[in-house]
A = this chain, B = another copy of it.
Amino acid sequence: MSPKITGELLRQLRQAMKNCKYFSEPIQAYIVPSGDAHQSEYIAPCDCRREFICGFNGSAGTAIVTEQHAALWTDGRYFLQASQQMDNNWTLMKMGLKETPSQEDWLISILPENSKVGVDPWIIAADQWKNMSKALTSAGHSLVAVQDNLIDVVWMDRPERPSTQLRTLGLEYTGMSWQDKITALRTKMTERKVTWFVATALDEIAWLFNLRGADIEYNPVFFAYAIVGMNTIRLFVDLKRLSDPALRDHLQLDSPSKPELSIHTYPYESVYTELQAICAAHSPKDKVWICDKASCALTQVIPKAHRTPIPYTPLCLAKAVKNESEIQGMKMAHIKDAVALCELFAWLEKEIPKGTVTEMSAADKAEELRSQQKEFVGLSFPTISSVGPNGAIIHYRPLPETNRTLSMNEVYLIDSGAQYVDGTTDVTRTVHFGTPSAFEKECFTYVLKGHIAVSAAIFPNGTKGHLLDSFARAALWESGLDYLHGTGHGVGCFLNVHEGPCGISYKTFADEPLEAGMIVSDEPGYYEDGSFGIRIENVVLVVPAQPKYNYRNRGSLTFEPLTLVPIQVKMMNTEMLTQKEREWVNEYHRKCREVIGAELERQGLTLVQSNPFAEFCNCSAVIIVCIFLIILCVSHSASFVKPLYQQFY
């Protein structure tokens, strides 16, 4: 990975910062957040401004350019990657380390007195604007909104904003019509005495209208805004997209059932002026709900007295709690995904000894196998396929210049997932095709202990995810180890693979209590820089638990793994596992074999192997040997209550 050469770009940007055509006075610093106008995590190529200016293409990071300096803030997942992608015009600011200044503190420490710090108000969230503005003001500087984006000014070949075809989702997938979702939203609005709701997050809009797009790679969303009143619904979207009769029918554009469920469509760009018009016609008591993560530009259209900023919207919470149809879809998607991954591992086992499989070809094979599954739409994020030292780059993505060959001598980590029409998957497995070292096994086992501690945890209804984060770390901590990322994120249903408002992290912001029906990932890891990376990730469903007692009738919750891909026993130091942990592994593998085994068979991909396993396999013409399911078969006839190390070599 060679760094992007940014000297000339920075020179041009600094010239634009001084040019009074863009702002009435020269600005001394310019902030380039990583988001788009919807504060999306993944963004369309036209919105990759932070990557364009500094070269770093990770999913999170903020660049700041001053007259003398250029610095990029990112978190532990990306320290290595960012340092490799940026040239020495840039200083890497490692967030989460004690010695790293915040963006505000850094600006205050280097800016001349009375400086102006510019930012595009559409791509900074209102809450970030507020915090940054307050800090700068208290130090005698000011944060100013520069309407023309200065990166766009220097970005000669910036791509167009995409406008892909929209897909409608029926009740069998969504479990709830968009009309019912609107009605439920209005009930919430009535409860809180709110008269208008502005939806700006793309996944919330897609969820609300039971529509999907492909405007942003990996995320089946489309560029849009929506404003919902008690009697009106306004959808802002490229109007060219609305010609399809099936789509018009789905949205009842031509014959709405009821006037209050009639959708009025407007061009995407007109949201600003429409919202202005709505606010101008405000009654003095009207309150407008908008997420505090919405863009500063749109937020500030709403007069402060009428604005009710919320850390997450009612749609965000409703979307997080999956209904029966969505849960069923997610289960189906995970079964298909597990089949593809089992095929992949079988293929790898066969091909790796030939020395021809690389990180990139393995990722391609994974995609190919997934694409053979029913209702496959695309990947849910760029596959992290990493061998040996590349595994320590937490959000690594193989590129031609970094592409390593898989071998019998190094740990292989693959974190991948897909979008199916019925659900979204995200799974990480870490495997070794030869003999792992004692240290690799030791670390893997700590990570496994953490994974199990979260997955098997029982906790009261109403518990926030951050209270579970340390369970994932306790075994690592006890040996002085740790990992610099959260333990889990919410997962959408044929939507964004990362979604709020719940998760499992030491970070506590916008962390809503877990409730039955929510779906999160459980993915502790360990990364030995320059050597290997380990992560074990399942997507898990929050389900009610029935422990012995029920304190104050609060009820208890636990997790049910949706991901059903075996965990490599060879990587475990089974001596380090407690009896309970062994039982968890055995029960998990029993379920993998039962559910995925049946699906492999159904798909005609059954297992055939030498004698001991034959009993498990109803022989078939198509023979795919799955390394992991073989491991499971070893003790098929043995009792699962035996200690693990007796079952699995």
Contacts and interface: CB of A to CB of B under 8 A. Distances in A.
Contact of A549 (B308, B479, B554): B479
Interface string A418-452: 00000000000000000000000000000000000
16 contacts: A138-B305, A138-B308, A457-B477, A458-B477, A458-B478, A459-B470, A459-B473, A459-B477, A460-B482, A466-B467, A471-B474, A480-B548, A480-B551, A480-B556, A481-B549, A508-B508
Interface of A: 98, 138, 140, 285, 287, 305, 308, 457-460, 462, 464, 466-471, 473-474, 477-482, 506, 508, 545, 547-552, 554, 556, 578
Nearest to A484: B552
A287 B468 CA distance: 40
Contacts of A545: 480
A549 B470 contact: no
Given A467-B469, A470-B470, A480-B551, 17 more contacts: A138-B287, A140-B285, A457-B474, A458-B477, A459-B473, A460-B477, A466-B466, A467-B506, A468-B470, A471-B474, A477-B547, A479-B548, A480-B547, A480-B550, A481-B549, A481-B551, A482-B551
Nearest to A139: B193
A464 to B, nearest CB: 8
Contacts of A506: 464, 467
Given A469-B467, A470-B467, A547 B478 contact: yes
A578 B305 CA distance: 58
A592 to B, nearest CB: 24
Given A138-B308, A308-B138, A508-B508, A458 B480 contact: yes
A538 B84 CA distance: 49
A549 B483 CA distance: 13
Given A467-B470, A469-B467, A474-B471, A554 B482 contact: yes
A477 B308 CA distance: 36
A218 B271 CA distance: 61
A109 to B, nearest CB: 10
Contacts of A477: 457-460, 547, 556
Nearest to A469: B467
A64 to B, nearest CB: 21
Interface centre among A138, A474, A477, A478 (most CB of B within 10 A): A477
Contacts of A549: 479-481
A474 B285 CA distance: 47
Contacts of A459: 470, 473, 477
A140 B545 CA distance: 44
Nearest to A549: B480
Contacts of A466: 466-467, 508
Nearest to A459: B477
A485 to B, nearest CB: 13
A138 B302 CA distance: 14
A546 to B, nearest CB: 8
A294 to B, nearest CB: 17
Nearest to A476: B551
A581 to B, nearest CB: 12
Contacts of A481: 549, 551
A115 B466 CA distance: 38
A194 to B, nearest CB: 11
Nearest to A556: B480
Rank and list the top 10 A-B pairs by shortest CB-CB distance, nearest first.
A480-B547, A480-B549, A467-B470, A479-B548, A481-B551, A508-B508, A458-B478, A459-B477, A480-B550, A482-B551
A138 B287 CA distance: 9
A4 B498 CA distance: 54
A140 B308 CA distance: 13
Contacts of A550: 480
Contacts of A548: 479-480
A481 B457 CA distance: 13
A234 B63 CA distance: 45
A151 B578 CA distance: 60
Contacts of A462: 98
Contacts of A285: 140
Contacts of A480: 458, 545, 547-551, 556
Contacts of A508: 466, 508
Nearest to A285: B140
A381 B313 CA distance: 44
A374 to B, nearest CB: 39
Contacts of A554: 482
A107 to B, nearest CB: 14
A106 to B, nearest CB: 15
A459 B506 CA distance: 13
A195 B241 CA distance: 60
A551 B97 CA distance: 13
Contacts of A469: 467
A506 B138 CA distance: 32
A305 B141 CA distance: 12
Nearest to A506: B467
